[in-house]
């Protein structure tokens, strides 16, 4: 893992219009690159560094050099979803200079990837940074999506038999259209039985600041989601740390037997000889 790069590469997108590049339905996947920028997200940085390291190790295992800008902070989503667009622009724009070369930008979070890929162009529309925001958005990929569709990741399971439920975040499902990615990766693991939970498309209740502004509604939602996962399997995985923190926190608070893990951590652990 490295923290800077000065290499020049060709633009990632040459055969799609900007409007097409911004839509997950018409997303263009680049060829497998030599390098990527890694945007860790706040929750990975503060609470789940193992998920970030697992993602970096999976990328490096694919022969990709990982560039980690040391001054990265927040993508601006909390301010944006709370209606503070001026503040969100200030936070988001502070990230623009972190990615000077046209390498892909990968994130271990559907929520933050959705913010950068889908909402940056809207946030900076009709501003001097509009073109720059669109260019950044075009290069953003949620990491498991990138591993599957760009790296063509193939996994060899080294773990013992286990039953696992998958929770896909709202952002990954609805903003990025990648609900199938986690399913496809888990299904590569021979000793993992993926159990489909009930009401799989429902929100866990986190929603960033939603959980703070509407705590009673959020609590009812996470209670339903947690029970659905418990009914499916004693272990669940997800690609979003916000969902993981919310569901696992509820399970621990109410003393329910449910073990959660970021999908990247799970994949890395399952494919090591000591799994």
Question: Per-residue confidence of the chain (275 residues) as pLDDT tens digits?
Answer: 544 333 333 334 333 333 333 444 467 899 999 999 999 999 999 999 999 999 999 999 999 999 999 999 999 999 999 999 999 999 999 999 999 999 999 999 999 999 999 999 999 999 999 999 999 999 999 999 999 999 999 999 999 999 999 999 999 999 999 999 999 999 999 999 999 999 999 999 998 788 888 999 999 999 999 999 999 999 999 999 999 999 999 999 999 999 999 999 999 999 997 65
Q: Which residues contact 69 (CB under 8 A, 6 or more apart)?
A: 3, 4, 37, 39, 98, 99
Q: Please state the separation of Cα 173 from the chain's center in Å.
A: 11
Note whether 221 and 256 are within 8 A (CB): no
Q: Of 269, 272, 263, 275, give the one whose Cα is nearest residue 183.
A: 263
Give the chain's length: 275
According to CATH, the topology of domain 18-149 is Rossmann fold (3.40.50)
For residue 196, give both structure tokens: 């489909």
pTM summary value: 0.89
- Provide the 3-class DSSP secondary structure of residue 164: strand
Q: What is d(CA 93, CA 98) in angstroms, rounded to the nearest whole number?
A: 10
- pLDDT value, residue 87: 98
Domain map (residue ranges) of the chain: 18-149, 162-270
- Helices 215-232 and 241-253: crossing angle, nearest 10°? 80
- pLDDT value, residue 275: 53
**18-149 and 162-270: same fold?**
yes
Give the dihedral sign, CA 248/252/253/254: positive
Give the dihedral sign, CA 11/17/20/22: positive
| Domain 162-270, second-level architecture | 3-Layer(aba) Sandwich (3.40)
| Continuous segment of H or E residues that includes residue 19 | helix 18-21
């Amino acid at each position: 893992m490295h923290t800077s790069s000065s290499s020049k590469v060709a633009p990632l997108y040459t055969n799609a219009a900007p409007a097409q590049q911004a839509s997950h339905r018409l997303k263009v996947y680049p060829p497998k690159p030599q390098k990527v920028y890694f945007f860790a997200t706040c929750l990975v940085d503060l609470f789940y560094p193992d998920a970030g390291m697992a993602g970096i190790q999976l990328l490096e295992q694919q022969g990709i050099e990982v560039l980690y800008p040391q001054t990265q902070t927040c993508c601006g989503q909390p301010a944006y979803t709370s209606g503070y667009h001026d503040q969100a622009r200030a936070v988001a724009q502070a990230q623009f200079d972190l990615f000077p070369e046209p390498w892909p930008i990968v994130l271990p979070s559907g929520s933050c990837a959705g913010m950068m890929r889908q909402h940056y162009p809207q946030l900076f529309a009709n501003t001097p940074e509009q073109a720059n925001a669109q260019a950044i958005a075009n290069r953003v990929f949620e990491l498991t999506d990138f591993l599957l569709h760009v790296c063509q990741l193939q996994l060899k399971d080294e773990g013992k038999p286990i039953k696992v439920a998958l929770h896909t975040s709202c952002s990954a499902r609805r903003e990025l259209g990648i609900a199938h990615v986690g399913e496809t990766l888990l299904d590569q693991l021979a000793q993992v039985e993926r159990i489909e939970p009930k009401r799989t498309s429902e929100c866990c209740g986190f929603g960033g600041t939603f959980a703070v502004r509407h705590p009673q509604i959020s609590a009812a939602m996470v209670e339903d989601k947690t029970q659905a996962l418990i009914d499916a399997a004693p272990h669940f995985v997800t690609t979003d740390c916000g969902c993981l923190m919310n569901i696992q926190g509820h399970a621990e608070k109410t003393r329910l037997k449910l073990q959660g893990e970021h999908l990247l951590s799970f994949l890395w652990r399952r494919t090591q000889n000591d799994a």
